[in-house]
Amino acid sequence: MSSALRSQGLVIVATLATAYVASHFFRAANVTIGLDLMRDLQIGPEALGALTGAFFFGFSAMQLPCGVFFDRFGPRRTVCVMLALAVVGATIFTLAQSWPVLLAGRALMGAGFGVMLIGSMVVISRWFPPDRFSTMSAMVLSIGLIGNLIATTPLAWGTALIGWRGVFGLVVVFTACAAVAVWLVVRDAPPGHPFLARKVETPGELLAGVGEVLRNPRLPFILALNFTNYACTFTVQGLWGGPFLREVHGLTIVQSANVLLVAVVAYQCGMMIFGPLDRLLDTRKWIAVGGTSSIALVLGVLALADRPPAWLAIGAIVSIGFLSASSTMVMTHGRGIFLDRLVGRGMSVMNTCVMLGVACMQTLSGVILGAFAPLADGARSELAYRTLFGVMCGVLIVAVSIYTRVPDIRPSDELRAAAERRRAGD
């Protein structure tokens, strides 16, 4: 590929990553304003957990349909249409005055933003060689995490100045502008790529491809970790980390938001480190195992520590932020088990599992915390949070034990296979 095409590919991926910022903002915002939503709407932790999880139920519901759309219509058209749906959902959420309307708006947001990561990965797989997939995917996630940053201290400040609805309105406008940018800049594949000269599959062939993906014998083992890794870390980073620091350790909304901001920065640093690590160590499986096992260890410490000092809780949340970047290695490992013609559907199946896992874990977390009687001031007790951390620790340990049974797919193996395909074509 010429330097001009490589530069064009970088611009395309950067544009998609910039649009991805809005997705991260909306999915993470409740960790900062969650207690305010509970107070304003007079809802309990179960309702907040369901409200937060609705984003991911909507997100996961659109993964398989969008995987088919990616392989039939291409990422450019699919992403633009779905971003328009996200704008509608975000607008409903911003203007809503009741919990059911908020729930509907958040679910629509999740459905609309559900295309962003997989659309970016499909584009990366067509514009860049296989050994660059992990690094470029990490770049997309790192840029997208700016949305998480905005959802911490800046959101807390903005809420104090113009209210959370005012901040949300600004991000809605940003999302609409991002949809226009995607249409103008993004191209599905470089000139000469087989996707551009493909024979368009019939609906029956598209569905048969989904079946082919689901029958892959290595997929269930990868899905076990896909379902749990991000689900557990984002239940801390995107929902209960802030309330935990405020209710158990007495931090203010801005102080807890500052901790979450540092955790997001740690996540971004983790992306930059974990992204190219597979090429350096020539493994994906064991990087994912090491990262997830470390997360389980940190959650175990939070579960077992009785009245730990605030610095330990803060350090644990920041550490989880850094280690959660290991989830990208699971996706990269999964990408390697699918043929190129199935990449859209394959990645969508995996991301369905990721986001369904988040939706289930966040909903379950609200049930777990709600099972404990609130304190006199209405706050959740330390024991309630420790129980939640212990449950997530156990879930990750089981998932890692299942995942270790799948064969590794090393970057060196992919490079040799690509070279053999080129020689066969000559």
Instruction: Give the mean pLDDT of 205-231.
Output: 88
pLDDT at site 425: 56
Output the CA–CA distances (angstroms, integers) from residue 110 to 36, 173, 255, in the order listed. 21, 17, 28
Of the listed ranges 85-94, 132-141, 400-409, the one predicted with least confidence: 132-141
Q: What is the mean pLDDT of the chain?
A: 85
* Confidence band of 420 (pLDDT split at 50, 70, 90): low
pLDDT at site 422: 62
What pLDDT digit, counting tens, does each position of 377-394 carry? 778 889 999 999 999 999
* Confidence band of 32 (pLDDT split at 50, 70, 90): confident
113 located within any domain:
yes
Tell me if 125 sits within 8 A of 75, measured CB to CB.
no
192 located within any domain:
no
Tell me if 235 sits within 8 A of 406, measured CB to CB.
no
Q: Which of residues 118 and 282 earns the better pLDDT score?
A: 282
pLDDT at site 289: 95
CATH code at 100? 1.20.1250.20
pLDDT at site 88: 95
What pLDDT digit, counting tens, does each position of 304-337 carry? 988 889 999 999 999 999 998 888 888 888 878 8
Q: Which of residues 257 and 403 earns the better pLDDT score?
A: 403
Structural domain count of the chain: 1
304 located within any domain:
yes
User: Cα angle at 373 between 371 and 376, to 5 degrees?
Assistant: 155
Classify the phi-psi angles of 84: left when phi > 0, otherwise alpha if psi is within -120 to 50, otherwise beta: alpha
Q: Which of 55, 11, 112 is nearest to 239 (CA)?
A: 55
pTM for the structure as a whole: 0.73
What pLDDT digit, counting tens, does each position of 198-210 carry? 676 677 777 788 7
Backbone dihedral angles phi then psi of residue 58, each to the nearest 5 degrees: -65, -40
Of the listed ranges 88-97, 102-111, 199-208, the one predicted with least confidence: 199-208
Spatial separation of the C-alpha atoms in residues 91 and 95, rounded to whole Å: 6
275 located within any domain:
yes
Res. 403: pLDDT tops 70: yes
384 located within any domain:
yes
pLDDT at site 304: 94
What pLDDT digit, counting tens, does each position of 135-155 carry? 788 788 888 888 888 988 888
Q: State which residues form the domain around 208.
A: 3-187+197-425
Classify the phi-psi angles of 307: left when phi > 0, otherwise alpha if psi is within -120 to 50, otherwise beta: left
